[in-house]
Amino acid sequence: MPRALPIKPAAGLVALILALAAPWLLSAYDLNLLGRFLALSLTAMGLVLLWGQGGVLSLGQGVFFGLGGYALAMHLKLADLGPTELPDFMVWSGVTALPWWWALFRSPWVAVLAVLAVAPALAALFAWAIFRRRIGGVYFALITQALALGFATLLISQQDKTGGFNGLTDYHTLFGFNLNRPATAIWLYYITVLFTLLAFAGLTWLLAGRFGKLLRASREGSNRLRFLGHDPVPYKVVAFTVAALLTSVSGALFTLHAGVVSPALVGVVPSIEMVIWVAIGGRVSVVGAIVGALLVNFAKDKISTALPELWLYGLGFLFIIAVTILPNGISGLFAKRAKDAGE
């Protein structure tokens, strides 16, 4: 099996310098895109942990992405309003009083806590209930896909509480900072870079130790692990929970950069797209996840601007290439090259 891309310090340093210098190198529009896509790379890294390392394919990461995105967006909607005012979409729906669980989100700290806690807590409960029953593989993937479908449908149907099909958009303030100022945009970008680095470092640490070994061992050898006295369930539950945390933060950061969160970002199709970023970047490699998320999304932006009808074909083509020729994605290509050169 090809190992993950060896992290060559030089390449890493160049990437880091480029990332830090990006505000001077890119237009404001492209910097915003880079920020968005780096935010998405957190989702991809979560899938590397869960799918590439733990062998658990989730087609429902959109749910956790949405939980993070909506939690922050609820605060952002309220931050611009006076104490008695209601968000615009509630007024249009004829709501007269803010629901209590919405009112909690007046505090930015509640929103931050919700981003960090709600998705992981739900993920842990769900994963424990499922993995304890030894449900896995394609059944697990189908259940998560149904969750994504259900979640998107719920958001659309509860127009007066969620903004329905349009989602939550048009917000301007976070922690007293005006989100529309160019300086704020640069800070947001750097915060996103920081989160990307933290996620990268955290996952690399987690996977290098005994936890990583047991998680990889559970990928093919759940039974062997059991009969060696290790219960494989907790490792999968932790992987699913950590992936949900990363995906929730990813959704919140994306919402800040994009200025919108909507059901179109959380349903079945976006959830599958997330898996495709990782398949193309290389599902066993944390670096591959970042590369895949950036590459596929920049390609999506360029191709769908030029030839809107072509993008889905392009994505499908990339996916077929990844599955048939490059089972470990782009990072697998590099790992293979390095190995061939070494022998």
Nearer to other proteins, 211 or 311 (CB): 211
Reported residue count of the chain is 343
The residues binding other proteins (CB under 8 A) are 1, 206, 209-211, 213-214, 216-217, 219-221, 223-231, 234-235, 238
Nearer to other proteins, 214 or 272 (CB): 214
CB of 328 to other proteins, least distance (A): 13
Q: What angle do CA 326, 324, 276 make, to 5 degrees?
A: 70
CB of 212 to other proteins, least distance (A): 9
Torsion over CA of 315, 321, 324 and 328, rounded to 10 degrees?
Answer: -90
- The sign of the CA dihedral 273, 279, 280, 284 is positive
CB of 244 to other proteins, least distance (A): 17
Nearer to other proteins, 134 or 302 (CB): 134
Cα 93 from chain centre? 31
Token digits of residue 125: 């409960």
Nearer to other proteins, 1 or 306 (CB): 1
CB of 50 to other proteins, least distance (A): 15
CB of 216 to other proteins, least distance (A): 4
Nearer to other proteins, 1 or 183 (CB): 1
User: Phi and psi (nearest 5°) for 107?
Assistant: -85, 130
3 C-beta neighbours (distance < 10 Å), count: 14
* 169: β partners: 260
